[in-house]
């Protein structure tokens, strides 16, 4: 990887892809022009979302998209990673994305399409032919996703080269179906593991119908899991969480099989009979790149079942997103925290990039999300500091052989932050939610200079 250090600066390769990322439900609004998703239902369930906030208007991107594309161009972005709303496509709204892709290309911005960023159509969650409930625990949803992927590919595949099937399937499976802090708010450990498998299956099925000329990846949120001590018990806690956070996806994706220790750890939760012959091979499609979303590491130790509050950074409920791991405790790392109470520790990003470089030699990597929530101020030196630290270790990973081709900052705009509503701000562009006025923060100007020069 051609990286250099000169005159105190870290220089990235000339062709490095500098971008920003968003998600449909978080920014688009225009809820009346699409069908309902599980997040619309979740938002209307009392107590689930901060302040009763919804995505009905969000930051009105469906109306202001041309302004937002001009803003991206002014910031010198070379790529934009956005998600397509499955409910909007079902309502005949694919034309919005068709026009968006054309507008991006007219400004020289490469579109990177994410097919699924958590907004499952409510009709697929409500029920299934089996009568056992619907959603990702049901195999039918994976096939419905493949049909949806084919529809989007037919409309956009002639102009879009970079595709991401799923964004953070760990959150969809375990926060949505085990802990209930995300939509649809179910709390069944067995269903969460079924959901994880069917999300994996959905990736494989969708990858098979996307254009053969495209580069297809998946955006995981792998966890840099660290043991509190070097004791055998803490090292085993780390192994157990690594299986649930990481290898439940990378096992079939990269190696064509679920890890045996995961199956053993969760045997009391499920017998994994929902994995049918041939599924793991189908999931193991060739990847054009692996997307890595990184924010903070995890610190774990052994603990008696039910001991103390769970400090895993994924919301506090009486239900764990870690099936079969009740005897694992999570610990708040020391040091600087973001407004999400997440530890600022860029070394986790380095560790993950080098891990995948070793685990899947030659597989291109993308940092598909990285960023931080801070106060709503226009001058945001903390965010700049966060980004500088993480990009410095990204540069080090590339110098050490990690084949990283691009970086997508989360996020372009302040937006609806899921169960936190509008109370957390990740944007390098400030949004006045009352007027929808966009104002670039100091971090936006800083990032624009980086995107133009490639020099940190």
Backbone angles phi, psi at 191, to 5 degrees: -65, -30
CA 190, 368, 76: angle at the middle one, nearest 5?
A: 155
What is the token pair recorded at 94?
Answer: 């694919």
Is residue 168 among the annotated active site residues?
yes
On the 0-12 / 13-18 / 19+ scale of CB atoms within 10 A, 158 is exposed
Residue 296 reports pLDDT greater than 80: yes
**Active-site choice (103, 125, 369, 417):** 369
> At a CB cut-off of 8 Å and minimum separation 6, what does 453 contact?
none
Q: Where are the beta strands (DSSP E) in 237-363?
A: 289-293, 298-302, 328-331
Active site residue 125: no
Please report the pLDDT score of residue 12 as a whole number. 98
The DSSP line for 59-108 is T-HHHHHHHHHHHHHHTT-SEEEEE--HHHHHTT-HHHHHHHHHHHHHTT
pLDDT tens for 322-376 read 999 999 999 998 899 999 999 999 999 999 999 999 999 999 999 999 999 999 9
The pTM score is 0.97
Long-range CB contact pairs, 185-191, < 8 A, 24+: 185/42, 185/45, 185/48, 186/135, 187/317, 187/319, 188/137, 189/269, 189/270, 189/320, 189/323, 189/324, 190/269, 190/270, 190/323, 191/133, 191/137
pLDDT at 402: 98
Provide the 3-class DSSP secondary structure of residue 10.
strand
Question: Is residue 300 classed as helix, strand or coil in its secondary structure?
Answer: strand
pLDDT at 101: 99
The position carrying tokens 């400090």 is 311
Query: How confident is the model over 174-205, as pLDDT tens digits?
Result: 999 999 999 999 999 999 999 999 999 999 99
Task: Give the pLDDT confidence score for residue 132 in this predicted structure.
Answer: 52
CA torsion angle 71 76 82 88 (round to 10): 30
pLDDT tens digits, one per residue of 399-449: 999 999 999 999 999 999 999 999 999 999 999 999 999 999 999 999 999
Q: What's the mean pLDDT when you consider all of the chain? A: 96
The 10s digit of each residue's pLDDT in 66-85 is 999 999 999 999 999 999 99
What pLDDT does residue 7 have?
A: 61
Residue of 168, 260, 336, 388 marked active site: 168
Phi then psi for 48, rounded to 5 degrees? -85, -35
Instruction: Give the pLDDT confidence score for residue 2 in this predicted structure.
Output: 63
CA distances from 373 to 27, 179, 190, 340 (A): 16, 23, 33, 6
Backbone angles phi, psi at 380, to 5 degrees: -130, 65
130, pLDDT greater than 90: no
Three-state DSSP class for 389?
helix
């Amino acid at each position: 990887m051609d990286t250099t250090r000169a005159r105190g600066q870290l220089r990235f390769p000339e062709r490095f892809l500098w971008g920003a990322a968003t998600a449909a439900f978080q920014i688009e609004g225009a809820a009346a022009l699409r069908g309902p998703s599980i997040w619309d239902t979740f938002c209307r369930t009392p107590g689930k979302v901060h302040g009763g906030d919804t995505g009905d208007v969000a930051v009105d991107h469906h109306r202001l998209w041309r302004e937002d594309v001009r803003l991206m161009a002014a910031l010198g972005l070379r790529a934009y990673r956005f998600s397509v709303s499955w409910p909007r496509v079902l309502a005949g709204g694919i034309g919005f994305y068709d026009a968006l892709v054309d507008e991006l290309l007219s400004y020289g911005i490469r579109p990177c399409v994410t097919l699924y960023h958590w907004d499952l159509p409510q009709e697929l969650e409500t029920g299934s032919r089996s009568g056992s409930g619907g959603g990702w625990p049901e195999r039918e949803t994976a096939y419905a996703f493949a049909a949806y992927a084919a529809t989007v590919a037919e409309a956009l595949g002639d102009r879009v080269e970079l595709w991401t099937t799923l964004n953070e399937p760990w959150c969809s499976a375990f926060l949505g179906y085990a802990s209930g802090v995300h939509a649809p708010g179910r709390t069944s450990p067995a269903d969460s593991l079924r959901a994880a498998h069917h999300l994996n299956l959905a990736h494989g099925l969708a990858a098979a119908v996307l254009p053969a000329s495209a580069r297809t990846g998946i955006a995981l949120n792998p966890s840099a899991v660290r043991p509190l001590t070097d004791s055998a018990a803490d090292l085993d806690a780390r192994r157990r969480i690594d299986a649930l956070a990481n290898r439940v996806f990378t096992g079939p994706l990269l190696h064509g099989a679920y890890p045996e220790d995961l199956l053993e750890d969760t045997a009391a939760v499920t017998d994994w009979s929902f994995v049918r012959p041939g599924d793991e091979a189908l999931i193991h499609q060739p990847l054009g790149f692996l997307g890595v979303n990184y924010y903070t590491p995890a610190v774990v130790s052994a603990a008696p079942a039910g001991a103390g509050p769970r400090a895993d950074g994924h919301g506090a409920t009486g239900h764990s997103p870690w099936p079969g791991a009740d005897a694992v405790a999570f610990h708040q790392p020391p040091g600087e925290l973001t407004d999400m109470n997440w530890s600022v520790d860029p070394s986790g990003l380095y560790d993950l990039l080098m891990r995948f470089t070793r685990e899947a030699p030659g597989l291109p990597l993308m940092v598909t999300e990285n960023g931080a929530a801070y106060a709503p101020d226009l001058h945001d030196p903390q965010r700049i500091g966060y980004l500088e630290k993480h990009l410095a270790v990204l540069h080090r990973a590339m110098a050490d052989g990690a084949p990283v081709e691009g970086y997508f900052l989360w996020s372009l705009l302040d937006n609806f932050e899921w169960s936190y509503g509008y109370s957390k701000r990740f944007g390098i562009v400030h949004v006045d939610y009352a007027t929808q006025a966009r104002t670039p923060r100091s971090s936006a100007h800083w990032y624009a200079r980086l995107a133009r020069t490639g020099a940190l």
